[in-house]
Amino acid sequence: MSTFSAPKGTYDLLPPESADFLAVREAISAPLRRAGYGYVETPGFEHVELFARGVGESTDIVTKEMYTLTTKGGDELALRPEGTASVLRAALQANLHRGALPVKLWYSGSYYRYERPQAGRYRHFSQVGAEALGAEDPALDAELVILAADAYRALGLRQVRLLLNSLGDAECRPVYRAALQDFLRALDLDEDTRARIEINPLRVLDDKRESVRAQLTDAPLMRDHLCEGCKSYHEQVRELLLAAGVEFEDDPRLVRGLDYYTRTTFEFVHDGLGSQSAVGGGGRYDGLAEMIGGPALPSVGWALGVDRTVLALRAEGVELPRADATEVFAVPVGEDARRTLFHTVTELRRQGVAADFAYGGKGLKNAMKSANRSGAALALVLGERDLAERVAQLKDLATGEQVAVPLENLTTEVLAKLNRPTAR
């Protein structure tokens, strides 16, 4: 134990569990890479103003949850609380939108929000995200939703539900907003919520308190106010999802915590996670580029939470295969054996075998304990007598069965025992 521990609301990823985080990132990004999304990486911090404008001045993220700092040079920066604003900023800065559209990008990284920590809600968390910039096409919205659904399915998750809604556009949303405000102003609400009605009334629909929810049963719904364009767009997205076999639930009350969404809005939830049930979400954000000083650039994207996806795997009891688990563990006895086996381990690794070695000059008994603990299928044991006879003992750690193999073709024998195709 050191004097220090990880700050509140954060945790360390350590083996063996950390392998699940890598596997989740891989499973989410693989379908994106196959669909033409290119990798983008942006700084961990940006100018505060980017998030204030891009996420929304009135959102919880901007008003309460950002880690902000003033640099020695006087810059006002914030640790990134989400990915979309940064990715869009980077794409605009590099003029990617002047080339072929849509620009399709994916990213993976750490995000920071000063939230009240609880199970599934942390101050430092990890997301994989995707953004498709510069096209207004229901097939693009559908593509992104399908890619996310396929990623969850590839991971073996069965209990992820997809909630779908349309938030309208610049034509129909203002009319709906006004109708909703009229309705909300007549309710019995606290001062903060009343203030929210004037700034972002849609967010009131997302209030989790029972006292508020009970009053919202008859609230007007965006669904009943969609203009013809939005209605037809949404219908096309729904049809494409149905045709792809992606199940969803229409949720006319689904709004999201960020201000910039238009039209298609969705969230993936998992019922085994308690109150922090959202594993991922996203939608269309046609106005965001202009909000951060760029041109009109209709876009759609999502971010999936890696931490909560791992929790969902645990909740469903899904065990992911360990990609790089040790297959062969080498146990030398004596100096000459050490040199020989160290070389064999290097060779095996170069042949693509996951191999490890008993370091630290352990005795045979302790070294065999390490071999068993490593989870390897095979131990390669080399003692002094073996050396004299130019053989090594290849031991199947599950059955205890042991065979002597000639040192000359040790690598080939191990590969054969592992059912590997012939050495490269």
Nearest residue to 59 (alpha-carbon basis) of 253, 256, 319, 287: 256
- Nearest approach, Cβ of 127 to ligand AMP (angstroms)? 5
Find out whether 343 and 351 touch, Cβ atoms under 8 Å.
Answer: no
Closer CB to ligand AMP, 138 or 282, in the complex: 282
Buried b (16+ CB within 10 A) or exposed e, 246-281: bebeebeebbbbbbbbbbbbbbbbbeebeebbbbbb
123 DSSP β-pair partners: none
Minimal distance, residue 88 CB to ligand AMP, in Å: 14
User: CB-wise, 52 or 355, nearer to ligand AMP?
Assistant: 52
CB of 167 vs ligand AMP, minimal distance in Å: 14
In the complex, residue closest to ligand AMP by CB: 305
Nearer to ligand AMP, 46 or 386 (CB): 46
Is 261 annotated in a binding site? The answer is yes
Q: Closer to ligand AMP at the Cβ: 121 or 231?
A: 121
Which letter, b or e, does each residue of 307-326 get, where b requires 16 or more Cβ atoms within 10 Å of its Cβ? bbbbbbbebeeeebeeeeeb
- Establish whether 84 is an annotated binding residue: yes
Nearest by Cα to 154 from 320, 16, 311: 320
Least separation in angstroms between CB 64 and ligand AMP: 12
Residue 133 or 414 with smaller CB distance to ligand AMP: 133
Residues that bind ligand AMP (CB under 6 A): 82, 113, 115, 121-122, 125, 127, 257, 278-281, 303, 305, 307-308
Minimum distance of ligand AMP from residue 281's CB (angstroms)? 4
CA atoms of 141 and 233, how far apart (whole Å): 10
Q: State yes or no: 113 annotated in a binding site.
A: yes
Strands 328-332 and 38-39: unpaired
* Minimum distance, C-beta of residue 32 to ligand AMP, in the bound complex (Å): 16
Question: Do the annotations mark residue 181 as ligand-binding?
Answer: no
Residue 83 annotated as binding?
yes
CA distance 55 to 87: 13
By beta-carbon proximity to ligand AMP, the closer residue of 82 and 386 is 82
Of the pair 148, 391, the CB lying nearest ligand AMP is at 148
Answer yes or no: is 256 a known binding residue: yes
User: Distance between the two ends of the chain, CA-based, in angstroms?
Assistant: 46
Bridge-based pairing of strands 299-305 and 328-332 is: unpaired
Long-range contacts of 280-287 (CB under 8 A, 24+ apart): 280/148, 280/304, 280/305, 280/308, 280/309, 281/256, 282/129, 282/144, 282/148, 283/141, 283/167, 283/256, 284/141, 285/84, 285/260, 285/261, 286/136, 286/169, 286/170, 286/262, 287/170, 287/260, 287/262
CA 122 – CA 258 distance, rounded (Å): 18
CB nearer to ligand AMP: give 311 or 355: 311
For the beta carbon of residue 19, count every other beta carbon within 10 angstroms: 16
Residue 237 or 303 having the CB closest to ligand AMP? 303
Please name which of 279, 284, 280 lies closest in space to residue 297, comparing C-alpha atoms: 284
The answer to whether 82 is a known ligand-binding residue is yes
Work out how close the CB of 190 gets to ligand AMP at its nearest, in angstroms, rounded to a whole number: 24
d(CA 242, CA 89): 34
Report whether 160 contacts 279 (CB < 8 A).
yes
Q: How far is the CB of 261 from ligand AMP (least distance, A)?
A: 10
Nearest distance from residue 176's CB to ligand AMP, in Å?
22
Which two structure tokens, joined as six digits, stand for 229? 């364009």
Specify binding-site residues: 82-84, 113, 127, 131, 256, 260-261
- Binding site for L-histidine: residue ranges? 82-84, 113, 127, 131, 256, 260-261
